[in-house]
Structure 1
Amino acid sequence: MSLQEQPVGVDSPASPPSTNKMRKVALASFMGTVIEFYDFIIYGTAAALVFSDVFFPALGNQAGTVVSFATLGVAFVARPFGAIFFGHFGDRLGRKRTLIATMLTMGVATVLIGVLPTAETIGVLAPVFLILLRVAQGLAAGGEWAGAALFTTENAPKDKRGFWAMFTNLGGAAANMLAATTFLLTSVFMTDETFVSYGWRIPFLLSALLVVFGLYVRLKLDDTPVFTKQIKGEGASSLPFADAFRNQGRQILLGAGTLLMAFALNYMGASYLTNYGTATLDLDRSQVLGAGVFGGVMLGIGIISGGTRSDRVGRRRILLITNIVAIPWALVLFPLLDTKSLAAFWIGLAVSFLVAGHAFGVAGSFLSELFHTRYRYTAAGLSYSLAGIFGGALPPLIAASVISTWGGLAFGVLLAGIGLVSIACTLRLRETRDFELDDIPDAPRGA
């Protein structure tokens, strides 16, 4: 029989983990994604506000902004390669050691961006180094998310996997608030000239403090019992990437599709709309960043709601409802923003983040439950990273040209199309809430 038809042959954990242990596990995963998302979001915010002036001044404001967002997309392209590379070691050597490596890689790359000389100082080398460091961030992020999600899911009791796994992406909401707050404070207490000169570097340098704390938390934990049983029983896969695509290639692609709309709304709000609010709507930078802080709060509320509810009603239902609601919202978002009302801008960001949060709250448990332990790290990370490319990187990259040519409503139609793809992919996957993590899930098919 195929790998998709038989259980691995190892028992489920004999006793559920203590609440105290799960709190430590959740904190370790939470801190990892705080660092990952914080580093990603401060880059997106800096790209929206200053990178066109600092690293691409010769291109002019509009072209420089487009190129800045292109460098944002570079990391998303690197993420699948990071998922494959770090996933290989995560599936063979363990979750803990791999997660320590991803955290160090992300932290060092981010701090180096904070001390990177500008184009005025070293010329063309400045954007070259910026892109290389951005690639390093992408590789680390591709390996970080899946490991953090698996760390909570593979430790959690079956009936609480949605709750505990949501702490992985809850770190992203905290990072949204933290990144926007640091930029807001530097913006409030500095002139525009000072901010462009060196103020934008402060959030990048602060990342070092997060990394030190995150490493301290992770070094105190053991690997997951599900992974340990897999190694003692069947052993590790010799090539997780090949095994994943041979046995569950469709699930990898469909799993990515379910999250496209969540990524689109989240990264439009976290990066492009920051630029849109200041450059197109002529809103004050501090007011725009304040809306970002509030958006982070709404993202967190959505993640908590989606994750906890999924233990009662199922992951698939939460994803379906979220993607259905997102379609009409995508159509009204830019007409609402184009009223140029500050209140409308705050509402636009808040609702976008709230909707996206519900899907992100399910993502950790859903993708972890979808794949076999032998290649779960690789497959879940690759699925999440592919969603990041097509949902998180492309929409902000093409938004400026589409909106300037055909208007905001046209871009809303494009976002709605992404939502339809997410609905179709969700319908092709079965509910995963009742899967045993040491069994091999069935192939995807309609409910």
Structure 2
Amino acid sequence: MASLVGTTIEFYDFYVYATAAVLVFPHLFFPAGNEKTALLASFAVFGAAMGARPLGAVFFGHLGDKRGRKITLVGALLTMGIATFLIGVLPTYASVGWIAPAMLVVLRLAQGFALGGEWSGAALVATENAPAGKRAIFGTFPQLGAPIGFIIANGLFLIIAVLLPSSDPSKPSEAFLDWGWRIPFLFSAVMVIFGLWVRLHLVESTAFEKTVKKGAVHSVPLVAVFRTHGKELVLGTFYMLATYVLFYLMTTFSLSYGRASATAALPGLGYDYRTFVLMMIAGVVFFGLFTLLSGPWAERWGRRKTLIGITLGIVVFGFLWVPMLGAGFVGVMAWLILGFTLMGMTFGPMGALLPELFPANIRYTGSGISYNVSSILGAALAPFVAVALWSAGDGSPFWVGIYLSGMASLTLLALVLGKETKDIDIEA
């Protein structure tokens, strides 16, 4: 539960930025005049954080493998919380010019750096303390922080949008752009204080304690990972690729595509913000539900076999974008539910699979690097590539769906080449 609380707060902070990257930042932090250029610039800053995530994985992984999981997780949460709060008090482009997006980039990099150390530590605390035969089940709890954080972040933005309504459904109100958007960022401080209290009461991982007693702690875990487990690093990176691409297409890109009018420079579905966010939240409920269900499935059938089947489903899903999105409200809602269901099913087992690829004395570093390097190949590029393909297709999402299928095919290949990890000794 402690790992769940922490990842919920971390993902809340990340989603608050992702939502603002669509709704607010193109209007406030970049020069006016070209809507598509401003959106792409906003997504570029969004993706920049993914470049900082592997650095965070190395830094926090080093601390986690040498000093323990608990204190490292406290540092990651505090870094994320401070960066998110400061975004909420930034001046805009109209006030300070290019200094505004420059400061936004710095704080966005800090967010990415923090999240780079968060996930693997939370997953290790859960799985390394799990009873025998329940690692995949325990590993779904830090994963559940993603859908819960999404619902809280977007729910708060939705409440603010309702309280500060706009006469133009394609654009937030003046009050929202003036000060309303800052509230979710500032609210992060309250959540972080609670999260720090929870994290300070965490128990240390038993696997790490045994590593210390055996004198098996590496002086430089990063060197040991590349020297002894390079293959696992590569496989773990591609295991996560389909998950990341699907995740950011269903959250960040879909919000842009769903809100864009049919007559815009980049034509979309034309839903107003409130309607489409409610539709997304309904889909994310399935994300959370199937994240939990995926744990028992991965215990019963194994991580590899379960994920091979799910990844095949993602490949097929990419080819269904045009017929589903062209079928009116029912088709769009089915698209959201199916996409988020597949997201939960592929994301849940990762909480156990990636840590199981590495021994205890390099596990924080190894799982963190795989998870976060994949964020560059998947999450950093996905929204940017999606907008480019959306533009090249004259508003059709066809090539965006094909892009998803292609990335999922790479994950499928990695799973076929990999081995089952269900029965490894987690304390070795």
TM-score surpassing 0.5? yes
2: CA distance, partners of 1:437 / 1:163: 14
Map 1:34-183 → 2, pairs under 5 A: 34-58=8-32, 60-183=34-157
How much has 1:347 moved relative to structure 2? 2.1
Letter in 2 for 1:362: P
SS in 2 for 1:158: coil
The question of whether the paired residues in 1 share the 8 Å contact of 2:128 and 2:427 is answered with no
Is 1:343 the counterpart of 2:317? The answer is no
How much has 1:304 moved relative to structure 2? 0.6
Q: Output one character per residue of 1:8-30: Cα deviation in whole Å (capped at 9) or x when no partner.
A: xxxxxxxxxxxxxxxxxxx1110
2: CA distance, partners of 1:196 / 1:175: 23
Letter in 2 for 1:231: V
Question: 1:416: which partner in 2?
Answer: 405
Question: 2:414: which partner in 1?
Answer: 425
How much has 1:47 moved relative to structure 2? 0.6
The question of whether the paired residues in 2 share the 8 Å contact of 1:335 and 1:409 is answered with no
The question of whether the paired residues in 2 share the 8 Å contact of 1:92 and 1:237 is answered with yes
Question: 1:438: which partner in 2?
Answer: 427
The question of whether the paired residues in 2 share the 8 Å contact of 1:52 and 1:60 is answered with no
Map 1:239-250 → 2, pairs under 5 A: 239-250=220-231
Q: Output one character per residue of 1:358-417: Cα deviation in whole Å (capped at 9) or x when no partner.
A: 111101111111101111001101111122221222111111111221342122212111
The question of whether the paired residues in 1 share the 8 Å contact of 2:73 and 2:117 is answered with yes
Question: 1:360: which partner in 2?
Answer: 347
The question of whether the paired residues in 2 share the 8 Å contact of 1:261 and 1:356 is answered with no
Is 1:226 the counterpart of 2:207? The answer is yes
SS in 1 for 2:348: helix
1: CA distance, partners of 2:50 / 2:19: 16
Letter in 1 for 2:411: S
How much has 1:234 moved relative to structure 2? 2.9
The question of whether the paired residues in 1 share the 8 Å contact of 2:29 and 2:93 is answered with yes
Question: 1:297: which partner in 2?
Answer: 285
Letter in 1 for 2:338: V
2: CA distance, partners of 1:334 / 1:86: 42
2: CA distance, partners of 1:361 / 1:194: 39
How much has 1:338 moved relative to structure 2? 4.1
Question: 2:309: which partner in 1?
Answer: 321
Is 1:282 the counterpart of 2:267? The answer is no
The question of whether the paired residues in 2 share the 8 Å contact of 1:94 and 1:223 is answered with yes
1: CA distance, partners of 2:333 / 2:23: 18
Q: Output one character per residue of 1:278-316: Cα deviation in whole Å (capped at 9) or x when no partner.
A: 112211110111122112211101211111211111111
2: CA distance, partners of 1:378 / 1:85: 8
How much has 1:429 moved relative to structure 2? 1.3
How much has 1:346 moved relative to structure 2? 2.4
2: CA distance, partners of 1:158 / 1:308: 13
Letter in 1 for 2:420: E
Question: 1:209: which partner in 2?
Answer: 190
2: CA distance, partners of 1:265 / 1:346: 16
How much has 1:59 moved relative to structure 2? 5.4
The question of whether the paired residues in 2 share the 8 Å contact of 1:176 and 1:292 is answered with no
2: CA distance, partners of 1:59 / 1:248: 50
Map 1:389-404 → 2, pairs under 5 A: 389-404=376-391
Distance 1:282 1:320, change over 3 A: same
Question: 1:18: which partner in 2?
Answer: none
Question: 2:217: which partner in 1?
Answer: 236
Question: 2:170: which partner in 1?
Answer: none
Letter in 2 for 1:377: Y
1: CA distance, partners of 2:312 / 2:47: 26
In structure 1, stretches of 5+ residues that fail to align are 1-26, 440-447
Letter in 1 for 2:366: A
Letter in 1 for 2:211: Q
The question of whether the paired residues in 2 share the 8 Å contact of 1:106 and 1:140 is answered with yes
2: CA distance, partners of 1:173 / 1:81: 25
Q: Output one character per residue of 1:241-276: Cα deviation in whole Å (capped at 9) or x when no partner.
A: 111111111111111111211111111111111011
1: CA distance, partners of 2:256 / 2:89: 23
Please list every run of at least 4 consecutive aligned residues from structure 1 whose deviation after the TM superposition is greater than 4 angstroms. none
Map 1:176-191 → 2, pairs under 5 A: 176-191=150-165
The question of whether the paired residues in 2 share the 8 Å contact of 1:177 and 1:295 is answered with no
Q: How large is the RMSD of aligned CA atoms in angstroms?
A: 1.2
Q: Output one character per residue of 1:326-369: Cα deviation in whole Å (capped at 9) or x when no partner.
A: 11111112442245x33333222221111011111101111111
Distance 1:59 1:230, change over 3 A: farther
Question: 2:296: which partner in 1?
Answer: 308
Question: 1:445: which partner in 2?
Answer: none
Letter in 1 for 2:147: A
Letter in 2 for 1:436: D
The question of whether the paired residues in 2 share the 8 Å contact of 1:335 and 1:408 is answered with no
